[in-house]
């Protein structure tokens, strides 16, 4: 093998490191960030509930509370009540209709703040119920945060006639309608 082509990348790397050293962009007294508390230890949910349903889809609501000093992000949710759950937001489409869709980047709960999950807004979508959700029973959910920590909570099932937003039509969800 030709030695010129072998050493060239290394030379470029050395130059790059030197330039970095010269510009010296690291401040001498950079604040050292104290260890962050796992999101799963500072997040709770108030007034959680699940909409009753015989089959198909349903949704879970409540107020997510973050008592920590950093914003936290819920990236996924799991439950035995549905093998497929999504974090949904509700938005107005071009036709002026309110439609729900998977939220990009997950649910962000601000530091020391709350995020409301409610009909017509953000919610935990249960895409395919494993069985009927009967009022009076409980459903357990496990939230997973961006830092991989988790928070488990259980929510009572309630009868509710609203929360019938249409699912935003998209190729990836075609064939979901029965």
Bridge partners of 38, per DSSP, are none
For Cu ion, the closer of residues 42 and 124 by Cβ is 124
Q: Which of 163, 166, 161 is nearest to 92 (CA)?
A: 166
Q: Which of 4, 20, 36, 40 is nearest to 152 (CA)?
A: 40
- Residues 82 and 178: their CA atoms lie apart, in Å, by 17
Binding map of Cu ion across residues 111-140, x = CB under 5 A, - = no contact? --------------x---------------
Joined tokens for residue 170: 């998209």
101 touches Cu ion by CB under 5 A: no
CB 170 → Cu ion: shortest distance, Å? 13
Of these, 85, 88, 106, 107, which contacts Cu ion (CB under 5 A)? 88
What letter would DSSP give residue 160?
-
By CB atoms closer than 10 A (0-12, 13-18, 19+), residue 94 is exposed
For Cu ion, the closer of residues 68 and 123 by Cβ is 123
For Cu ion, the closer of residues 21 and 84 by Cβ is 84
For Cu ion, the closer of residues 37 and 75 by Cβ is 75
What is the contact surface with Cu ion in residues (CB under 5 A)? 88, 100, 125
């Amino acid at each position: 093998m030709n030695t010129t082509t072998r050493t060239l990348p290394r030379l470029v790397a050395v130059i790059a490191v030197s330039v970095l050293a010269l510009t010296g962009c690291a401040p001498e007294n950079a604040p050292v960030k104290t260890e962050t508390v796992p999101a799963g230890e500072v997040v709770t949910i108030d007034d959680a509930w699940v909409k009753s349903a015989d089959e198909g889809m349903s949704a879970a609501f409540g107020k997510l509370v973050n008592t920590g000093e950093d914003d936290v992000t819920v990236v996924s949710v799991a439950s035995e009540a549905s093998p497929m759950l999504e974090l949904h937001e509700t938005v107005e489409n071009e036709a002026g209709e309110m439609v729900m869709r998977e939220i990009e980047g997950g649910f962000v709960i601000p530091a020391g703040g709350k995020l409301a999950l409610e009909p017509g807004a953000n919610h935990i979508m249960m895409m395919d119920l494993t069985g009927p959700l009967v009022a009076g029973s409980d459903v357990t959910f496990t939230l997973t945060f961006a830092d991989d920590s988790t928070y488990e909570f259980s929510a009572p099932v309630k009868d509710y006639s609203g929360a019938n937003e249409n699912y935003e039509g998209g190729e990836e969800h075609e064939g979901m309608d029965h």
